[in-house]
Amino acid sequence: MAKYVYDFAEGNRDLKDLLGGKGANLAEMTNLGLPVPAGFTITTEACRRFLTDGAQIGGLGDEIDRHLAGLEAAMGRRLGDPADPLLVSVRSGAKFSMPGMMETVLNVGLNDDSVAGLSRQAGGNDRFAWDSYRRLIQMFGKTVCDVPGDEFEDALHNAKVAKGVEDDVQLDADDLKSLVSAYKKVFVKHVGHDFPQDPRRQLDLAIEAVFRSWNADRAVLYRRQERIPADLGTAVNVVAMVFGNLGPDSGTGVAFTRDPSTGDSGIYGDYLQNAQGEDVVAGIRNTLPLADLEKIDKKSYDELLQIMATLEGHYRDLCDIEFTIERGKLWMLQTRVGKRTAAAAFTIAAQLVDEGMIDLDEAVTRVSGAQLAQLMFPRFDLAGHPSPLTRGVGASPGAAYGSVVFTSARAVELAASGEKAILVRRETNPDDLPGMIAAQGILTSRGGKTSHAAVVARGMGKTCVCGADQVEVGRDRFTVGGQVVREGDVISIDGTTGRVYLGEVPVRPSEVVQYFEGDLDPALANEPLVAAVHQLMTHADSRARLRVRANADTGTDAARARRFGAHGIGLCRTEHMFLGDRRELVERLILAHDKTGRDGALAALQPLQRADFLDIFREMNGQPVTVRLIDPPLHEFLPSLEELAVQVAVAKERGEEAERDERMLAAVRRMHEQNPMLGLRGVRLGLVIPGLFAMQVRAIAEAAVALAAEGGRPRPEIMVPLVGAVQELETVRAEAEKIIAEVVGDTGVEVLIGTMIEVPRAALTAGQIAEAAEFFSFGTNDLTQMAWGFSRDDVEGAFFWRYLELGIFGISPFESLDRDGVGRLVRIATDEGRATRPGLKLGVCGEHGGDPESVHFFHEVGLDYVSCSPFRVPIARLEAGRAAVESAGSDHR
């Protein structure tokens, strides 16, 4: 029979799949002998069964009864006992942290009878008892019964207005007792029955609500954003309540063992006296810095610091800790490896290496290409000394600007229309997640580094400023002193300094980009972040098996790619060289009536092509350069059919000369295709238009010979696109080899000939094609398009949103490689190609070459290199190193 419930003493941190992160870490802290309230965890397996089969899970109720009895015995109290009640919290806890996305209910077990017993427990503190009861009704109503939270907030607001106070803590016991009555009326109004008085019934309903919250809209959206699998489910933790709202000697807080924004060592966190944990996380009251706890309760503060050191040493990482102090007694409610910004991730990983806690291999696995990409975003350029409007807490770094919006829905609206928005709120809640994703940044007037806005923004790499308490937020405007900022006005926010500016502040390149470019101010070279990036990138490069090349079509792009660490060019697109002033020569080629006209156009293009290639070969001297022969349909270089038809009609109407336009229109009509992506393009162009590929091959060979004559070391590779049958490649190769032999002579220049694998048939017949190819480069953009039957230019806007919503995709297959389908084609081509030609060089040149997850797949399959845009080269380098380290680690397990 399945076991669905575990006491904390039965688990450990390695059981996250079963107990969720929170349950596993509560168990780990219990095993370490830290002060953790008694409790038990209901497994993720039970959640999956509940969501599949409904409420009836055989044996679960009996297991909960047994573990609840053990909890009651440990605490010496009974759930809901009128004289001496045990109260519990019911909290979610998935394998991966999803802050605020699922449900929590505190003070379960409290009712009309036991509220008096709770007061007696607290030494006659009626205010505490009624405050706890109103919190239960509010959380239970919202979480379990879907009562609109605004109505509870309105009732609380009315109570404060009636009392003439601004803060919850200024309400006395009688005020809170009246508030409980008001909350009960709200509950009945929406639910249709009284608030449940049976403590065990409260517990069962709360557990079921937490299970259901796994599929709440915001949880689904967050999982999609963070690429968390949808089938994991959440565990449920039932924990004996400890109370931070018993008075000034009680409180609650969140602590980090290092700064989650910068990675700096020190005391970081927030503390609230006379409050429960949700008050800190929700950001509904501005908190005190954790360091102030030393003055308030030195004994608890010193104990907390010892526990923080113990946990960081045990987990060997930044820890995020939630705690409560109940009348001077410290209790640990949660720990986890803390979410952090990209800058903090690199800095902390390097610090832990320097401190001897981890080695460089592990440090490289602690950071990611996605985080490195965040560090490469621009920063504000403050050379003009803009005056800040106000300042809050820099909760998640970055530079963001946009139009002010005050609702999540409006942020989504603006983003959908391509406009940038800054979401401004008093405090965010989990329902704001769509707007937080859509906005460029988030500004709140309440909360600190541990508030909901801060934690979620850091996890997403979104710029965030919290706790800007001078900001008075209204419905369609906010004010700072006498300054009014209305919806639609542009502001800029700095998530590092916490400063907020009116208008759009200009940006400058990040220090990390300047480091990669070799353009960094020497004074910044030893800054912790830059030093950490250098240390980890150097180690990643030393461990990587995959080489990283760049997609570059000009000498300027090639030079930047080389500065960014590229080991060559994996895709040089020659069609980009036919644009601008050269378009006229292409038009001449297309409109040529005979061989003489065609040869004349090609002869005019050849020296231009040769100069282009020589420029790139010089910049990449000694490194391979893969030049793809022209790929797109030629009509892409001509005016559109509709445009030409209008021009000709207008000219005729006016009696004007239109012979050239008429010839062009006839050519465009002749070349028009219903589906040009599957028409006359790639290798087919080279076979149908005499001399086109020959001109390009000659230009490549002549440029290589010219560089060799200068004393350089050219390494050209000619890539034939869109091959589907070996006979196509053999035909092109035969002509190319004659030209290369003629041009190269005895110079010693070697020119490789290979093909792109972008047609499914090419992947499936790779063993044959390898007979004529010295290398394969997987064009995963077209391979994905053809394997799925998608028109890439149309489908993403047409229906991909629905596929993502339904979970058919976790992410667009054009962003991250579809391992099961397209990935299988890559595996087949790799295996069969190398079976024919063991030394076959293999790479990838589609957009997937810079996608972190795809890079790991390409390492696993055994490719030799990936190629991506110059800006993504450092990202791919880091991921290539990580893939090698993780692969070596799995080999040793």
Confidence of residue 4 (pLDDT cuts 50, 70, 90): very high
pLDDT at 893: 46
pLDDT at 777: 98
pLDDT at 254 > cutoff 60: yes
- b/e for 231-268, b at 16 or more Cβ within 10 A? ebbbbbbbbbbbbbbbbeebbbbbbbbbbbbbbeeebb
d(CA 149, CA 291): 33
d(CA 549, CA 570): 5
Considering only 99-108, 582-591, 606-615, 866-875, which range has the smallest mean pLDDT? Answer: 582-591
d(CA 16, CA 854): 26
Contact present, 227 and 105 (Cβ < 8 Å): no
Confidence of residue 148 (pLDDT cuts 50, 70, 90): very high
Active site residues: 452, 845
Of the chain, the percentage scoring pLDDT greater than 70 comes to: 97
Structure tokens at 494: 């700095």
- Quote the mean pLDDT of the chain: 90
Contact present, 470 and 404 (Cβ < 8 Å): no
Considering only 45-54, 139-148, 571-580, which range has the smallest mean pLDDT? Answer: 571-580
pLDDT at 890: 62
Contact present, 473 and 445 (Cβ < 8 Å): yes
Contact present, 399 and 462 (Cβ < 8 Å): no
pLDDT tens for residues 692-714? Answer: 999 999 999 999 999 999 999 99
pLDDT at 236 > cutoff 90: yes
The DSSP bridge pattern shows strands 393-396 and 399-405 to be: unpaired
Q: What is the mean pLDDT of residues 632-636?
A: 72
pLDDT tens for residues 291-331? Answer: 999 999 999 999 999 999 999 999 999 999 999 999 999 99
β-strand partners of 866: 548, 844
Name the residue with higher pLDDT: 56 or 771: 771
pLDDT at 633 > cutoff 80: no
Q: Residue 509 gets which letter from DSSP?
A: -
d(CA 566, CA 560): 9
DSSP code string of 6-32: EEGGG--GGGHHHHHHHHHHHHHHHHT
pLDDT at 55: 63
Cβ neighbour number for residue 334 with a 10 Å cutoff: 21
Considering only 112-121, 242-251, 485-494, which range has the smallest mean pLDDT? Answer: 242-251
Confidence of residue 233 (pLDDT cuts 50, 70, 90): very high
Q: What is the mean pLDDT of residues 161-183?
A: 92
pLDDT at 372: 94
Considering only 90-94, 453-457, 577-581, which range has the smallest mean pLDDT? Answer: 577-581
Of the chain, the percentage scoring pLDDT greater than 90 comes to: 66
d(CA 873, CA 480): 43
Cβ neighbour number for residue 177 with a 10 Å cutoff: 18
Confidence of residue 670 (pLDDT cuts 50, 70, 90): confident
Q: How many residues does the chain have?
A: 893
pLDDT at 576 > cutoff 80: no
Contact present, 288 and 308 (Cβ < 8 Å): no
d(CA 264, CA 395): 14
Give me the torsion for CA of 27, 32, 38, 41, rounded to 10°.
0
Q: Residue 849 gets which letter from DSSP?
A: G
Considering only 29-38, 252-261, 468-477, 518-527, which range has the smallest mean pLDDT? Answer: 518-527
Considering only 138-147, 278-287, 557-566, 838-847, which range has the smallest mean pLDDT? Answer: 278-287
pLDDT tens for residues 537-546? Answer: 999 999 999 9
pLDDT tens for residues 350-386? Answer: 999 999 999 999 999 999 998 998 898 778 888 888 9
pLDDT tens for residues 758-808? Answer: 999 999 999 999 999 999 999 998 999 999 998 876 776 678 778 877 778
pLDDT tens for residues 718-772? Answer: 999 999 999 999 999 999 999 999 999 999 999 999 999 999 999 999 999 999 9
Name the residue with higher pLDDT: 198 or 659: 198
Task: Specify the 3-state DSSP secondary structure of 590.
Answer: helix
Q: Helices (DSSP H) in 196-238: which residue ranges?
A: 199-213, 217-226
CA 381, 383, 388, 394 torsion: positive or negative?
positive
pLDDT at 622: 97
CA 814, 818, 819, 821 torsion: positive or negative?
negative
Q: What is the mean pLDDT of residues 545-573?
A: 94
d(CA 772, CA 765): 12
pLDDT at 284: 60
Structure tokens at 255: 């602590």
Q: What is the mean pLDDT of residues 58-68?
A: 92
Q: What is the mean pLDDT of residues 271-286?
A: 73
Name the residue with higher pLDDT: 804 or 103: 103
Cβ neighbour number for residue 198 with a 10 Å cutoff: 12
